């Protein structure tokens, strides 16, 4: 298990566009394994490669409570979206903060899996939100630019 350091807001790398992955190399496999370890360790529902300082189009997501259903997406693209959901969103790169963001309620995503095979992932509600949030990271977009009103502090309950 290898954990990577999470870059936080203010770090320029989070604002950059990521490059496509053209070939599955050992370094990318290691990156994916480390991203999964890091996401689970931080109790996040998703993580994008730029958040660990790598400008490649790699995303991991797991919205299950058990944390036993990882989705690995390489070069993901949203090909369909519909509906609307408005809700709270946070990000491991924006610690102790959350904001209200309106997203599509359904998305269909085309991507490659860790074997570089084409896959289609469809999601609603939380999964749709996670897909949109993580794919935004690959374009250098943080949810804070889409949040309505002020962010709030999640440490004071
Ligand atoms: Ni995020």
pLDDT in tens, 73-82: 999 999 999 9
Instruction: Give CA–CA dist 36/133, Å, rounded.
Output: 17
Scan for tokens 């709030």, then name that residue. Answer: 152
110-141 pLDDT, tens digit per residue, is 999 999 999 999 999 999 999 999 999 999 99
Mean model confidence pLDDT for the chain: 97
Ligand 1 centre to CA of 91 (Å) is 4
Length of the chain: 157
The model carries a pTM of 0.97
Instruction: Give CA–CA dist 46/131, Å, rounded.
Output: 8
Ligand 1 centre to CA of 149 (Å) is 18
Instruction: Give CA–CA dist 102/85, Å, rounded.
Output: 6
CB 65 within 8 A of CB 31: no
pLDDT at 157 over 60: no
Residue 136, token pair as written in the block: 């935004």
pLDDT at 48 over 90: yes
- In the chain, what percentage of residues exceed pLDDT 70? 99
pLDDT at 1 over 90: no
Residue 123's pLDDT is 98
Q: Find the DSSP H helices in the chain.
A: 26-41, 125-137
Instruction: Give CA–CA dist 86/50, Å, rounded.
Output: 25
pLDDT confidence band for 32 (50 / 70 / 90) = very high
Name the residues annotated as catalytic.
Answer: 134
Ligand 1 centre to CA of 24 (Å) is 24
Task: Rounding to the nearest 10 degrees, give the CA dihedral for residues 126, 128, 129, 130.
Answer: 90
Ligand 1 centre to CA of 118 (Å) is 24
Scan for tokens 């599509």, then name that residue. Answer: 104
Ligand 1 centre to CA of 127 (Å) is 13
CB atoms within 10 A of CB 68: 8
Q: Please state, in angstroms and as integers, the Cα–Cα distance from residue 85 to each residue in 13, 15, 70, 107, following that order.
A: 29, 25, 23, 12
């Amino acid at each position: 298990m290898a954990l990577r350091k999470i870059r936080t807001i203010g770090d320029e790398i989070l604002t950059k566009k990521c490059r496509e992955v053209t070939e599955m190399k050992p370094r990318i496999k290691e990156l994916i394994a480390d991203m999964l370890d890091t996401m689970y360790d931080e109790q996040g529902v998703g993580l994008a490669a730029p958040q660990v300082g790598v400008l490649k189009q790699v995303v991991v997501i797991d919205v299950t409570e058990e944390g036993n259903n990882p989705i690995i997406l390489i070069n993901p693209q949203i090909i369909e979206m519909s509906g609307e959901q408005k809700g709270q969103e946070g990000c491991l790169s924006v610690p102790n903060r959350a904001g209200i963001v309106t997203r599509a309620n359904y998305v269909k995503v085309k991507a490659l899996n860790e074997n570089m095979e084409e896959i289609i992932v469809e999601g609603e509600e939380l999964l749709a939100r996670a897909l949109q949030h993580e794919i935004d990271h690959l374009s250098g977009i943080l949810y804070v630019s889409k949040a309505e009103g002020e962010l709030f502090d999640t440490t004071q309950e």
